[in-house]
Each structure stands twice: as structure tokens, then as C-alpha cells.
């Protein structure tokens, strides 16, 4: 059977790396890269470092408004699908690339497999939330990473084809942590074990709101700990647009760098004193690394990380990061919360039985 995988952003490449190596043992896979992320440090480095197979199609769509970006993807993906005639279309997560793949497949009556199904933040202003809901409602097989994701789907009347398989991002961490430690040393980054805060900010909610972005930068600048801040291109351009560079330049404790690779990120997560983020994936990686996480958002779709005590939601407009950091406590890991690191194998085995 032929599986057509559609992806195009940094977090999807991490998941593909975990799944493709197993998938290709049982299926023929055609890989389509939409090009939603296109800078070398947002995409190319992930292909190289994680040994992801070279895409069969590079659509080169790049950045645009949501409508135009998704629309261009629809046109280009449909052409590929008509040419390749796949038996199944595989999509990951919640990006515009996910939605485009799912939409094309549903119109052409091709079964859709959605990995990371059922997540909800219950905030429909997030583009990702719309992408998740729409994709789940047209999917044939829905691979949910947690029990909460399964019950979110049940609440929307989706009961068929739902499997709780754990999280492929946990597979990715298990596979790559040792490689990260072999390849990089903390001293390369000029950092010391448990003495720094690792920050990542890129959600439109935070970056495209001047007050929130300013509050976040000032919060980083206000603390004693060193802050290591790999800056997403969206965030960088908003900082320039709003003229916030002086906040970063005047802060002695902040090191701004370009986006770093996955292996570098894993290493820094492990050694951080705390992680401050608005990313979904990074919240979970903090949990896997047993590092306290402060999530600068009003909701999260990864509610288990909060329940376990390793993560807390903080409104960026009200954040007192210094007080939060001086009161950090460890959470309690919950056995098997995100699976056993063998999610990809389970997914492929279910797909094998279903599509044989």
C-alpha cells in the first residue's frame, strides 16, 4: 500500500523522523514537504540531523496569510495526490500543512490517518485549534497520544477509528537523547548545568500582540538567571516591527540565538533550570526531561503536564517570572502518561491491520 505523508513544519519533521523509519518497513511512503518552514535552521537541519528521507516532492509554499498559504497548499497537494494515487494520506499535528493534506484527501475520498489526534485547547482563536478540529472530523484513523485526547474526540462524537497509542514525540526523545549527548556539550553553549532558563516563544497569540510580547521580553529581562532564547523567525520579525530590540540588548542576562537543531534543543532542555515556552511540543519535552515548565498561555492542550505538577500556565501580561522561578518545585512523573516510547510501532501495526 502507498502512504502519502504531508508535512512542512519543524515539529512535524521530528514526528516524521520517529514514524517513517518504522512505517517504511511495512509500507511504501511518498513524502511531500509543503515548505511551510523553509529556513535551513527551521527545516533543513532537521532532515540532515534526524536522517529523514529526502522528500519526493518539495512544494516550496513558504509563508503567507493563512488563506493564501493553505490555498496554495491545497492546489499543489491535490496535483501530487492525483499523480501518485495513494491509498492513504498521513498527516501530523495541527498546522496549516495538516489541514491542507486532510482537506485534499477528504475531497478525493482517500482515507486519512491523523497522528496526534484529539488535542484541544478549547481556544478557537488559535489557528492550530481550527486545524485540529477540522482534521479530526475527516480522519479515518485517529491516533491520540493521551486518554484526554480520546475523550475530547468522544465529546465531539468521534468514536470510530480512535486509538490511544502514546506520543511519537516520546519515541523521538528516547531515540535521540543519547545522540544529543554524544554530539553536543553544554559548554559549547557557554551554559552551566541547571543555572539557566531556556525560552521559546512563537505562538501568534503572543507574538502578534504588542503588549503580550513586550511583557514576555520584560519578564525574561527581569530575572537573575541567564536566559537562552533561540528565536523563532516569526518572533524575531515582530520584535523588529515593534521596535523591541532595546529590551533584549539592554538585558545582560539574555542570549538571543537563531533557532537551534532538535538535538541541541534536547540537550539544553535536559540541563535547564526551567523552561519558559508557549510551544506545545516543548511543554512535553520539559515533562520528559523532568524540568519545571512555565507556559505563557491561557490554555494548553497538554493538560496532563499541568496535572503532574511539572508545568504551569501563566498569563504573560501578569507574569512575575522571578517569583515563579524562586518557588519552583518538582512535579510527580506519571507512569506511562505519554506511552512507552514505542508509539510508532503501534501506529504502523494498527495501520497494517486496517489497510491490509
Binding-site ranges for ligand UD1 (CB under 6 A): 9-11, 36-39, 42, 63, 94-96, 127-128, 202, 233-234, 237
Q: In this complex, which beta carbon is closest to ligand UD1, that of residue 94 or of residue 285?
A: 94
Q: In this complex, which beta carbon is closest to ligand UD1, that of residue 135 or of residue 225?
A: 135
Q: Which of 202, 232, 271, 352 is the catalytic position?
A: 202
CA angle 70, 281, 354 (to 5 degrees): 70
Stated length of the chain: 356
What is the SS3 assignment for 16? helix
**From start to end of 42-181, where are the E strands?**
57-58, 88-92, 112-115, 141-144, 162-164
Q: In this complex, which beta carbon is closest to ligand UD1, that of residue 129 or of residue 346?
A: 129
Q: In this complex, which beta carbon is closest to ligand UD1, that of residue 129 or of residue 171?
A: 129
The x, y and z cell numbers of residue 279, run together, are 510551544
Nearest distance from C-beta of residue 143 to ligand UD1, angstroms: 18
Alpha helices for 24-126 (secondary structure H): 45-49, 66-84, 96-107
DSSP code of residue 149: H
Mark whether 202 is an active-site residue: yes
Q: In this complex, which beta carbon is closest to ligand UD1, that of residue 42 or of residue 350?
A: 42
| 28 φ, ψ (degrees, to nearest 5) | -85, 125
Side-chain half-sphere CA neighbours of 167 within 13 A = 26
C-alpha span between 102 and 89 (Å, rounded): 8
- Are 344 and 168 in contact by the 8 Å Cβ rule? The answer is yes
C-alpha span between 312 and 51 (Å, rounded): 34
The x, y and z cell numbers of residue 185, run together, are 556539550
Active site residues: 202
Amino acid at each position: 500500500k502507498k502512504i502519502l505523508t504531508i508535512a512542512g513544519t519543524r515539529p512535524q519533521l521530528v514526528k516524521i523522523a520517529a514514524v517513517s523509519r518504522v512505517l517504511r518497513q511495512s509500507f511504501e511512503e511518498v513524502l511531500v514537504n509543503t515548505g511551510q518552514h523553509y529556513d535551513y535552521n527551521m527545516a533543513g537541519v532537521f532532515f540532515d540531523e534526524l536522517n529523514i528521507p529526502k522528500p519526493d516532492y518539495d512544494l516550496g509554499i513558504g509563508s503567507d496569510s493563512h488563506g493564501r498559504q493553505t490555498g496554495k497548499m491545497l492546489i499543489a497537494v491535490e496535483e501530487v495526490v492525483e499523480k501518485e494515487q495513494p491509498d492513504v494520506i498521513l498527516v501530523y499535528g495541527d498546522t496549516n500543512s495538516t489541514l491542507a493534506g486532510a482537506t485534499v484527501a477528504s475531497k478525493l475520498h482517500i482515507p486519512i490517518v491523523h497522528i496526534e489526534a484529539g488535542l484541544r485547547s478549547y481556544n478557537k482563536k488559535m489557528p492550530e485549534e481550527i486545524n485540529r478540529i477540522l482534521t479530526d472530523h475527516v480522519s479515518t484513523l485517529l491516533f491520540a497520544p493521551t486518554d484526554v485526547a480520546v475523550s475530547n474526540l468522544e465529546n465531539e462524537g468521534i468514536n470510530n477509528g480512535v486509538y490511544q497509542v502514546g506520543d511519537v514525540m516520546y519515541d523521538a526523545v528516547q531515540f535521540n537523547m543519547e545522540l544529543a549527548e554524544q554530539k553536543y556539550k553544554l559548554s559549547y553553549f557557554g551554559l552551566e548545568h541547571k543555572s539557566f532558563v531556556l525560552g521559546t516563544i512563537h505562538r501568534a497569540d503572543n507574538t502578534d500582540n504588542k503588549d503580550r510580547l513586550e511583557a514576555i521580553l520584560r519578564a525574561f529581562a527581569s530575572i537573575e538567571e541567564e536566559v537562552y532564547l533561540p528565536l523563532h523567525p516569526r518572533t524575531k520579525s515582530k520584535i523588529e516591527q515593534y521596535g523591541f530590540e532595546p529590551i533584549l540588548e539592554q538585558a545582560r542576562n539574555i542570549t538571543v540565538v537563531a533557532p537551534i537543531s532538535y538535538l541541541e534543543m534536547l540537550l539544553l532542555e535536559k540541563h535547564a533550570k526551567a523552561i519558559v515556552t508557549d510551544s506545545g511540543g516543548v511543554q512535553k519535552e520539559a515533562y520528559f526531561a523532568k524540568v519545571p515548565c512555565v507556559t505563557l498561555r491561557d490554555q494548553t492542550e497538554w493538560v496532563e503536564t499541568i496535572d503532574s505538577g511539572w508545568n504551569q500556565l501563566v498569563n504573560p501580561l501578569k507574569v512575575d517570572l522571578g517569583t515563579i522561578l524562586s518557588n519552583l518545585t518538582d512535579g510527580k512523573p506519571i507512569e506511562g502518561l505519554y506511552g512507552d516510547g514505542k508509539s510508532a510501532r503501534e501506529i504502523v501495526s494498527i495501520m497494517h491491520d486496517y489497510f491490509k
